[in-house]
C-alpha cells in the first residue's frame, strides 16, 4: 500500500543501506551547513546521488575509481604531448561530485605540477520549505523540482509512484499541487525579492566532502558552476567531458555547441577527452582523446573503440 522513505539517519537508514531496495533516500539528508562534511559514508552518498536526476534525464551518478586506469593513460599522454609545460591546467566539466576530478588531479600531481578545476552546471540544489508544512521540495538552481519529502515519505519529482502504492501516489499528487507556490518562491529568490511569508530556501552544494576539503586546503584545486556549452577563452591544457555529452542526454545540435565551446577553451596543443562509461555492460570507458591543432580537433587515441559521438566531435571541432 505504501512505502516510507529514509529521511533521518538511524536504524532504518542503516537497514536500507545494507539491503539495497526501493526505499528512497531524502535529499534533505544533505541539508544543514555542515551536513555534507558529516556524510562521509560513500554508500550513503551514492544513494543520495542516485536520487539526483537533473534536466529531467541526466543522472549525477559518479563514483570513486571510475577512471582509475584511464587517469594514468591521460597523465602519460600529457607527459608525451606537453612535456615542457611547467604546470598543467585541467578542467573536468560535468564533474558531478568532483570525486573523480580529485583522483585525476592526484594522479597528475604524483608525476608533475598541475592544477584542476571541477565544474558542473548543477553544482547546487535548493531545498524549499514552508513553515508549519511537512513538505520539502528539492529543486535545481533553475527551480526544476528533483524530489519531494513529505514527512516520512520521499518521492521523485519526475517519476510517478507505482499504482501498487496508492498512498504514495496520492501523497505525491498532493506534493505536486504545491509546485506553483514553490515556483513563485524560487522566482522571488532569483530576482532578489523578499520571499513570500513563511517560505525559506536552503542552498546545498553538491560537491563531495573530500573535494570541499581539498579546495579549502589547496588553491590549485577549485570548484565551480559552468555550463558545458558556455564559451571560455583558451586556458586549459586538458579538458575532460566524461559521461556528459552522451547522445542520450543532449541533442546532436547541443553536443556540437558543447564541442565548439570545449575546443575553444583549449590552449594550443591541448587535449580533450570525451566518452562514456558503459554502465549497462562491463563499466568500461569508451572514449576518444582529441588534440587541438590549427585545423581544429584531431583524434589521437581511441579507448575501447572510441567515443560514440567521435565523428560528430571531429566535424564540430573543425576550425572554420
Ligand X SMILES: C[S@@+](CC[C@H](N)C(=O)[O-])C[C@H]1O[C@@H](n2cnc3c(N)ncnc32)[C@H](O)[C@@H]1O
Q: Which is nearer to ligand X, 107 or 293 (CB)?
A: 107
307 binds ligand X (CB under 6 A): no
Query: Which grid coordinates are listed for 258?
Result: 558543447
288 binds ligand X (CB under 6 A): no
185 binds ligand X (CB under 6 A): no
155 binds ligand X (CB under 6 A): no
Query: Which grid coordinates are listed for 236?
Result: 586549459
Q: Which is nearer to ligand X, 135 or 286 (CB)?
A: 286
Q: Which is nearer to ligand X, 59 or 220 (CB)?
A: 59
Distance separating alpha carbons of residues 232 and 126, to the nearest angstrom: 27
Q: Which is nearer to ligand X, 120 or 308 (CB)?
A: 120
The contact mask relative to ligand X for 94-113 (x = CB under 6 A, - = no) is: xxx---x-------------
Distance separating alpha carbons of residues 272 and 80, to the nearest angstrom: 15
Q: How far is the CB of 279 from ligand X (least distance, A)?
A: 9
Strands 221-224 and 236-242: unpaired
Q: Are 127 and 137 in contact (CB under 8 A)?
A: yes
Query: Would you tell me how many other CB atoms lie within 10 Å of the CB of residue 287?
Result: 27
Quick one: which segment of 4-12, 59-67, 184-192, 296-304 binds ligand X (CB under 6 A)? 59-67
Distance separating alpha carbons of residues 40 and 38, to the nearest angstrom: 6
Which one among 66, 129, 256, 291 touches ligand X, defined by CB under 6 A?
66
Residues 223-242 contacting ligand X, CB under 6 A: 227-229, 242
Which one among 28, 243, 288, 309 touches ligand X, defined by CB under 6 A?
243
Distance separating alpha carbons of residues 251 and 253, to the nearest angstrom: 5
Distance separating alpha carbons of residues 70 and 161, to the nearest angstrom: 39
How far is C-alpha 292 from the chain's CA centre?
A: 26
Q: How far is the CB of 45 from ligand X (least distance, A)?
A: 13
308 binds ligand X (CB under 6 A): no
Strands 296-303 and 266-277: unpaired
Distance separating alpha carbons of residues 72 and 93, to the nearest angstrom: 19
60 binds ligand X (CB under 6 A): yes
Q: How far is the CB of 254 from ligand X (least distance, A)?
A: 8
Q: How far is the CB of 240 from ligand X (least distance, A)?
A: 7
147 binds ligand X (CB under 6 A): no
Quick one: which segment of 119-127, 162-170, 172-180, 183-191 binds ligand X (CB under 6 A)? 119-127
118 binds ligand X (CB under 6 A): no
Burial state string for 32-68 with b = 16 or more CB within 10 A and e = fewer than 16 = eeeebeebeeeebbbbbbebbbbeeebbbbbbbebbe
Q: How far is the CB of 26 from ligand X (least distance, A)?
A: 19
148 binds ligand X (CB under 6 A): no
Q: Are 138 and 127 in contact (CB under 8 A)?
A: yes
In Å, what is the CA distance from 247 to each residue of 100, 303, 310?
21, 18, 11
Quick one: which segment of 116-124, 143-151, 291-299, 306-314 binds ligand X (CB under 6 A)? 116-124
259 binds ligand X (CB under 6 A): no
Cα radius of gyration (the chain):
21
* Sites of contact with ligand X (CB under 6 A): 54-55, 58-62, 66, 93-96, 100, 120-122, 227-229, 242-244
Amino acid at each position: 500500500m505504501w512505502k516510507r522513505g529514509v529521511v533521518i539517519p538511524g536504524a532504518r537508514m542503516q537497514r536500507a543501506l545494507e539491503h539495497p531496495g526501493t526505499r528512497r533516500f531524502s535529499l534533505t539528508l544533505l541539508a544543514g551547513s555542515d551536513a555534507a562534511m558529516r556524510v562521509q559514508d560513500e554508500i550513503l552518498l551514492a544513494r543520495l546521488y542516485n536520487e539526483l536526476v537533473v534536466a529531467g534525464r541526466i543522472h549525477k551518478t559518479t563514483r570513486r575509481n571510475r577512471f582509475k586506469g584511464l587517469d594514468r593513460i591521460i597523465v602519460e599522454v600529457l607527459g608525451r604531448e606537453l612535456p615542457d609545460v611547467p604546470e598543467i591546467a585541467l578542467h573536468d566539466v560535468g564533474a558531478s561530485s568532483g570525486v573523480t576530478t580529485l583522483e585525476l588531479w592526484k594522479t597528475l600531481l604524483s608525476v608533475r605540477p598541475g592544477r584542476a578545476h571541477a565544474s558542473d552546471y548543477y553544482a547546487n540544489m535548493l531545498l524549499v520549505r514552508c513553515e508549519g508544512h511537512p513538505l520539502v521540495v528539492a529543486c535545481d538552481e533553475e527551480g526544476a523540482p528533483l524530489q519531494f519529502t513529505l514527512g516520512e515519505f520521499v518521492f521523485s519529482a519526475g517519476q510517478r509512484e507505482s499504482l501498487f502504492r496508492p498512498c504514495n501516489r496520492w501523497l505525491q499528487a498532493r506534493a505536486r499541487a504545491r509546485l506553483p507556490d514553490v515556483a513563485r518562491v524560487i522566482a522571488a529568490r532569483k530576482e532578489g525579492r523578499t520571499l513570500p511569508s513563511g517560505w525559506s530556501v536552503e542552498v546545498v552544494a553538491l560537491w563531495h566532502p573530500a573535494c570541499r576539503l581539498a579546495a579549502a586546503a589547496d588553491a590549485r584545486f577549485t570548484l565551480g558552476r559552468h555550463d558545458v556549452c558556455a564559451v571560455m577563452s583558451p586556458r586549459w591544457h586538458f579538458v575532460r567531458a566524461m559521461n556528459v555529452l552522451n547522445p542520450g542526454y543532449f541533442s546532436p545540435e547541443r553536443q556540437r555547441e558543447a564541442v565548439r565551446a570545449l575546443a575553444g577553451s583549449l590552449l594550443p596543443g591541448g587535449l580533450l577527452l570525451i566518452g562514456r562509461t558503459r554502465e549497462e555492460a562491463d563499466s568500461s570507458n569508451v572514449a576518444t582523446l582529441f588534440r587541438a591543432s590549427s585545423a581544429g580537433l584531431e583524434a589521437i587515441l581511441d579507448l575501447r573503440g572510441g567515443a560514440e559521438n567521435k565523428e560528430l566531435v571531429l566535424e564540430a571541432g573543425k576550425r572554420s
